[in-house]
């Protein structure tokens, strides 16, 4: 004799199709809040302008290895726009749109990728975590923050983002388990951009969705079109409301596409064909939201040209601010890890100041 002891469904949500038209019924209120949608579109455009400039800086030797966010703008801005200041964000290393919304400066992002740890002491909420390059460990950081919020009986939520590749790491699954067992105010986002560096989604996991990893851990989990800002915003609002009201954690899989190389140290042309990338550009988020705004008489070509010029100016100002920072000093490799430096590292710090050149040759 057998019986079905568990069953589940993963729902996919999309409100704005690739052509920029609203589909279905019962659209979220944000779909017709054109003031806010315009604000979001402007930040998405600024994020993309910044991203392009950062890559140019790396190519000309003024920046270290840089992780592009091209194609992720809708999902990122939706994350930043739905969080409150008192919430805690534990990013990985390309969530610039969310962080810009939360007050991080473009010059600080550049400083970090320029090898200057002063950039990691960025503006915005001081309880947000620094950029995290080790894959998926930020999910456990967010779970820890969520545990603290619960113990203190605070109506705050922690949010973390992991890639499709990172969702295969034990850290991500452990965060799910902790959130489920302890009913933590946590939102875990899988940014499914189809590629874990050179490994395609099809080769790293045979499951129909990545969201169902949350189901396995006992968390309500959904999938949304990550190029649809309206869907991402709606999903984040629901998950954050659930977290803050004591109902526990959620997992959201945002399906998008990495339009760029993984980082500037990568060449995606070696492992994916142009046809796939061309098709992804047809679904990209900025064109989609702009089409909806224009169809609703909330945007036009004059506004677009003015926005693009303003974004270029703002990015150039940020670059000048970054370049004016100068070399951080050899002590920078010691001064941003411990509140009180251990004695052995203190000795190394003193040796570095004595023996290393004050500024490396060729530094910007």
Q: How many domains does the chain have?
A: 2
Is the residue at 248 inside a domain? yes
Query: Alpha-carbon Rg of the chain, whole angstroms?
Result: 21
Judge if 215 and 111 occupy the same domain: yes
Query: What pLDDT digit, counting tens, does each position of 313-351 carry?
Result: 999 999 999 999 988 888 888 988 888 999 999 999 999
For residues 314 and 339, membership in a common domain is answered with: no
Residues with Cβ within 8 Å of residue 301, at least 6 apart in sequence: none
Over range 207-211, report the average pLDDT.
96
Q: Comparing C-alpha atoms, which of 133, 97, 137 is closest to residue 113?
A: 133
Which pLDDT value is given to residue 362? 55
pLDDT for the residue numbered 363 = 56
Residue range 132-152, pLDDT digits in tens: 999 999 999 999 999 999 999
Residue 149 contacts residue 364 (beta carbons within 8 Å): no
**Residues 132 and 220 reside in one and the same domain:** yes
Give the residues across from 225 on adjacent strands: 255
Residue with more model confidence, 221 or 333: 221
Checking DSSP bridges between strand 88-90 and strand 158-163, what pairing results, if any? parallel
| 351 CB burial (10 A radius; 0-12, 13-18, 19+) | exposed
Mean pLDDT of 253-259: 98
Task: Judge whether 1 lies within some domain.
Answer: no
pLDDT at residue 102 is higher than 70: yes
Q: Is residue 5 part of a domain?
A: no
Instruction: Give phi and psi for 50, each to the nearest 5.
Output: -60, -45
Same domain, 276 and 196: yes
pLDDT at 30: 98
Is 93 inside a domain boundary?
yes
Q: Which residues contact 6 (CB under 8 A, 6 or more apart)?
A: none
Residue 39 has pLDDT above 90, yes or no: yes
pLDDT bucket at 241, cuts 50 / 70 / 90: very high
- Predicted local confidence at residue 176, as pLDDT: 98
- Rounded Cα distance between 237 and 78, Å, is 9
What span, in angstroms and rounded, lies between the C-alpha atoms of 160 and 303? 34
Cα separation, 224 vs 232, whole angstroms? 7
Residue 298 neighbours by CB under 8 Å, 6+ apart:
34, 37, 38
Residue 162 lies in a domain: yes
Same structural domain for residues 41 and 167? yes
Distance CA 164, CA 186 (A): 18
Q: Averaged over 210-219, what is the pLDDT?
A: 97
User: Average pLDDT in the 207-218 region?
Assistant: 96
Taking a C-beta distance cutoff of 8 angstroms, is the pair 330, 363 a contact? no
Domain hosting 359: range is 333-364
171 and 265 share one domain = yes
Domain membership flag for residue 176: yes
Q: Is residue 236 a contact partner of residue 293, using CB atoms and an 8 Å limit?
A: no
Q: 294 and 359: one domain?
A: no
Pairwise CA distance, residues 84 & 73, whole Å: 19
Record the pTM.
Answer: 0.95
Q: What is the DSSP letter of 22?
A: B
- Non-local (6+) Cβ contacts of 205 within 8 A are 164, 167, 168
pLDDT value of position 330: 85
| Mean pLDDT, residues 269-295 | 97
The token pair that represents 43 in the structure block: 């930040």
pLDDT of residue 364: 53
The verdict on 154 and 273 lying in the same domain is yes
pLDDT higher than 80, residue 98? yes
pLDDT at 361: 62
Mean pLDDT for the stretch of residues 186-215: 96
The pLDDT value given to residue 329: 85
Per-residue pLDDT reduced to its tens digit, 110-126: 999 999 989 999 999 99
**255 band by pLDDT with thresholds 50, 70 and 90:** very high
Q: Are residues 110 and 243 in the same domain?
A: yes
CA-nearest of 35, 29, 52, 24 to 315 is 52
Q: Are 236 and 78 in contact (CB under 8 A)?
A: yes
Indicate whether 162 and 23 sit together in one domain: yes
- Inside any domain, residue 277: yes
Number of C-beta neighbours around residue 121 at 10 A: 13
* CA distances to 221, 232, 256 from 224, in Å: 10, 7, 9
Residue 272 sits in a domain whose CATH number is: 3.40.50.970
Specify whether 279 is located in the same domain as 219. yes
Q: What is the mean pLDDT of residues 80-103?
A: 98
- What integer pLDDT is reported at residue 133 of this predicted model? 93
Same domain, 256 and 132: yes
**Which residues, 6+ apart, have CB-to-CB distance to 174 below 8 Å?**
139, 140, 143
Q: Tell me the pLDDT of the chain averaged across its residues.
A: 96
Give me the percent of the chain exceeding a pLDDT of 70.
99
DSSP secondary-structure letter at 129?
A: P
In a domain, 7, yes or no: no
């Amino acid at each position: 004799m057998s019986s079905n002891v568990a069953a589940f469904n993963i729902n996919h949500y999309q409100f704005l199709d690739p052509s920029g038209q609203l589909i279905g019924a019962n659209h979220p209120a944000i779909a017709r809040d054109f003031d806010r949608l315009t604000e979001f579109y402007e930040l998405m455009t600024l994020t993309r302008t910044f991203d392009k400039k950062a890559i140019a800086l790396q190519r000309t030797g003024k920046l270290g290895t840089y992780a592009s966010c091209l194609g992720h703008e809708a999902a990122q801005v939706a994350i930043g726009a739905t969080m409150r200041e008192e919430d805690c964000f534990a990013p990985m290393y390309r969530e610039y749109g969310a962080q810009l919304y939360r007050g991080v400066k473009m010059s600080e992002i550049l400083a970090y990728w320029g090898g200057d740890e002063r950039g990691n002491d960025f503006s915005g909420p001081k309880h947000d975590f620094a950029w995290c390059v080790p894959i998926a460990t930020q999910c456990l950081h967010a779970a820890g923050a969520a545990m603290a919020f619960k113990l203190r009986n605070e109506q705050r939520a922690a949010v973390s983002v992991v890639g499709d590749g990172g969702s295969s790491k034990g850290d991500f699954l452990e965060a799910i388990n902790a959130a489920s067992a302890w009913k933590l105010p946590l939102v875990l986002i899988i940014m499914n951009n189809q590629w874990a560096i050179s490994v395609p989604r099809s080769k790293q996991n045979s499951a129909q969705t990545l969201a169902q990893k949350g189901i396995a851990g006992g968390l309500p989990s959904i999938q949304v079109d990550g190029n649809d800002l309206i869907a991402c915003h709606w999903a984040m609002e629901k998950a954050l409301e659930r977290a803050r009201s004591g109902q526990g954690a959620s997992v959201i899989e945002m399906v998008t596409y990495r339009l760029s190389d993984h980082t500037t140290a990568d060449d995606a042309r070696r492992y994916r064909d142009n046809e796939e990338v061309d098709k992804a550009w047809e679904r990209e988020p900025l064109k989609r939201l702009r089409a909806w705004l224009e169809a609703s008489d909330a945007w036009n070509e004059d506004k677009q040209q003015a926005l693009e010029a303003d974004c270029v100016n703002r990015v150039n100002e940020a670059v000048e601010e970054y370049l004016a920072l100068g070399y951080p000093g050899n002590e920078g490799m010691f001064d941003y890890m411990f509140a009180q430096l251990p004695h052995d590292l203190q000795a190394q710090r003193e040796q570095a100041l004595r023996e290393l050149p004050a500024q490396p040759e060729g530094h910007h």
